[in-house]
Each structure stands twice: as structure tokens, then as C-alpha cells.
Structure 1
Amino acid sequence: MCLVFVCDQDEQVIGRQQAPGACPYCGGMVQAVDVESQWRFCFLPFYFKTKRRFYCTMCTRRLVMQG
């Protein structure tokens, strides 16, 4: 008996825009990136989610917003 799970996650950048503020590490500009995540099971998509992530344009660190 052979049981195979075929799961895959695909991320695609939808858009980029400048965000207000400066990087706390280097003082560079902050960029907001909209990313769409798609989970597939046996090549059938079953989960979509759009996330906004923040990155520094100079040191390329991912920044986390504290709210």
C-alpha cells in the first residue's frame, strides 16, 4: 500500500508600493508588497490568501508591524 500526499504552496507578488516610515535598522525606505498565497492538494487549488508584507529597500530585511 502506497499513500502519497501531493501538497504545494505557490506565492505570487501582486503589487508593490512605497509605505510611510523608515527602516529601524538602516533608515532606508520601506516598501509594501502584496503577496497572494495559493495552497493546492493534488493539483486542485483549495486555499487563497492575500497578505501584505513590508520590506526595507536598502538592507532587504522583512519588517514586522507591531500594532
Structure 2
Amino acid sequence: MCLMFVCDEDERVLGRQLAPGACPYCGGMVQAIDVETQWRFCFLPFCFKTKRRYYCTICTRRLEVV
């Protein structure tokens, strides 16, 4: 007998906009990206989360707000 769980994560970009400030690594402009994450279990969606992520437009590093 084989038991298999199927979990999947799907991310979708909702919007992009410029954020105030500069990248501490290269001095480039910072971009705020709104991302919706959808978790699925056996192809049934059970969790939706919307997060805002910050990225540098020049060095493409993900930045964290402290």
C-alpha cells in the first residue's frame, strides 16, 4: 500500500510599485511587490496569504524591513 500526499504552492504577482529608500548593497531603487500565495492539498486550495516583498531593481536582491 502506498500513501502519497500532494501539496503545492502557487504564487501570483498582484502588483508592483516603487518604494521609498535605496538598496543598502548597491544604492539602487527599491521595488515593492505584492504577492498572493495559495497553498493546495490534493488540488484543493486551503490557504491564501498576501505578502509584500521588497527587491532592489539593480542587484535583484530581496530586502527585508527591520
Matched residues in 2 for 1:47 and 1:9: separation? 10
Instruction: Tell me the TM-score normalised to structure 2 length.
Output: 0.98
Partner of 1:21: 21
Identity %: 80
Runs of 4 or more above 6 Å deviation: none
Partner of 2:35: 35
**What displacement does 1:13 show?**
0.5
**What displacement does 1:29 show?**
0.2
Matched residues in 2 for 1:63 and 1:6: separation? 31
CA RMSD of aligned residues (A): 0.4
**What displacement does 1:4 show?**
0.7
Matched residues in 1 for 2:27 and 2:40: separation? 39
| SS of residue paired to 1:25 | coil
